[in-house]
Chain A
């Protein structure tokens, strides 16, 4: 039987080496050993995601590696948290994030990576999927009582939906209850400023950094 340290190292390594079988094995061992799920994520799988993210910043790995890493991560998380109650899952979350690809836009590869990186870093993430109407974003943000709303737009033509989310929040008089963070290929810091959002993230690693900053505000 492996020790706790060995299992955590195995989980980290499985993400670093993109080894799906190793991740499944590690996740099962973590459950058998009764390792705290939060620890398994932060010191195991999450640490591995961090390595991938650093390598991405250095130009060593690219989108394909991150997508595969995210897939393996999600699968292992599924095993580790299978028997966990909702409350336990939320216990030590850094904050709640609602994430989606905005109205009329269906490009979600980048959004999925951001989602996984946020989860790997200890955020509780609600993923609404893609082509989500601004009204639904606001409604769900209220329902889940999230701290941060994150929305991706991958086409110049769908960027205005990010502005719409802000406008709807203002109309409802609840703009100050949520932090809004946006990204996507055509999105720029200037756009974020223009529409009065709170943060811009160029990539997944930056999204995590910005989300942490927003939580500290």
Chain B
């Protein structure tokens, strides 16, 4: 049988002839990023074959075209290359990337009484552990001071886990990691598709369960806590992520009329997590198939239903989930913005790691101020950088109203910028750094994404009969939003002009809300009742949606 040597990981793997490199890597537990799940469209699973003899591999035709300069060096797509003989493969070690990812772990919250669902009682040398009113276990000695819980924000791309002392409410520490599922299938729909089959669900569930346990061990070690003294875990994430984290087939989420197989608002056993044998997992209530527990947590953390006046709460991500609250009346919706904000489908796109351009400002004289994560040379553009760039280029006229790149001869934008408009393969591209540029198709991707968010905002306002001017406050949640400036959201039209001066960034409310669910049991029944009253605004079924969406795509 042919043998593959994965050089970066130092692993030899034997496979049947004809196995793809991606499959071989997956079998061996080596992660090769494959956001499109091996369909051959995204090109992110590039690996380098080192001195591979002819006939030792076979490259199959894929939709993604490998740039000739890379093909010459020996790069192939792991998903479309079959192994026929012994070869050496250089695949980037993803463990290294994880460290430089920029993830936001803090979010706004409110004050509440410390009154967790679990409690302990000590008598006669034994500590009894209760879940609600039910006795679930007994521990030797007085363990009342060892009483911990976890609040986990399960993002499509990132996981944030906080270890919390349930006696004091203090957050002892928190840890961020890449959601390992994103390496197998990047966007929500691709993940639903993959997990609709038993082997796909097993792979995705197994990956996230292992990552949870790794994080639990690492956090406990760092904070000197015994993981057996963790009694409850809160899972806060979008509806799909909650299905995948609880090993539930998400098939129905991917087929019209898009229903969830779980409803949330209940506890489930935590048998697969390395915590107390009496422990459980609480799932906050789901609002709808595409408005998930992360938003329930957000509503709780931001206390939306208690706010006077009108507040718009948006979590900008692959799915733009949003809630509009007016004097206690709530309506929610979500729009498919696509993965552009995560740097996917963008020519020079990348995640928010070292070398990602995250700030781009054009001065009055046409000179440009930029900043990259990690203060290194720019390697690519992350989601927040992308919005920043597009917003600025629209503002100065490099991008026209319909979204086209305006050629220097016809443009009225500052002279110094005209030199940045060049041609690549006969098409106009605009350079934002030495080797980093924006293409016409990148602008189109942003138009689709921001148009979707804006259409959601407009439709939600229509549903509650609210005018742009009536919105008192706009709260942007999620780590993606936190790296943005208000102007980058408004200049390119993702949010209406009337919102200027009203935008606040509230951070990771999915986590801070999860913490409230953990520490105060009263919040659970309260929110379980409240979500029933949140009006679910279904966009794609509404005949007005197309017009609103189409209009929202312009600048």
Contact = CB atoms under 8 A, between A and B. Distances in A.
Interface of A: 59-65, 67-68, 104-109, 131, 155-158, 186, 188-190
A65 B40 contact: no
Nearest to B61: A190
B254 A188 contact: no
Given A64-B402, A107-B540, A158-B255, A189 B63 contact: yes
B540 A106 contact: yes
Given A104-B256, A156-B192, A190-B63, 4 more contacts: A62-B444, A64-B551, A105-B256, A131-B256
Interface string B86-127: 000000000000000000000000000000000000000000
A106 B551 CA distance: 19
B447 A62 contact: yes
Listed residue (A62, A105, A188) with the most chain B CB atoms within 10 angstroms of its CB: A62
28 contacts: A59-B440, A59-B441, A59-B444, A60-B402, A60-B404, A62-B403, A63-B448, A63-B553, A64-B550, A64-B551, A67-B546, A106-B256, A107-B540, A109-B546, A131-B256, A156-B39, A156-B190, A156-B193, A156-B254, A157-B193, A157-B251, A157-B254, A158-B254, A186-B39, A188-B39, A188-B40, A190-B39, A190-B62
Contact of B550 (A60, A109, A156): A109
Given A62-B553, A156-B190, A190 B255 contact: no
A1 B65 CA distance: 56
A151 to B, nearest CB: 15
Contacts of B440: 59
Nearest to B400: A60
Contacts of A64: 402, 550-551, 553-554
Interface string B247-258: 000010011100
Contacts of A108: 546
B487 interface: no
Interface string B512-555: 00000000000000000000000000001100001001110110
Interface of B: 39-41, 61-63, 189-190, 192-193, 196, 251, 254-256, 402-405, 427-428, 440-441, 444, 447-448, 540-541, 546, 549-551, 553-554
SS class, residues of chain A in contact with chain B: loop
A27 B251 CA distance: 48
A60 B41 CA distance: 25
Contacts of A67: 546, 550
A62 B546 contact: no
Contacts of A68: 550
Nearest 5 CB-CB pairs, A to B? Answer: A157-B254, A104-B255, A59-B440, A188-B63, A156-B193
Nearest to B441: A59
B427 A59 contact: yes
B254 A62 contact: no
B550 A157 contact: no
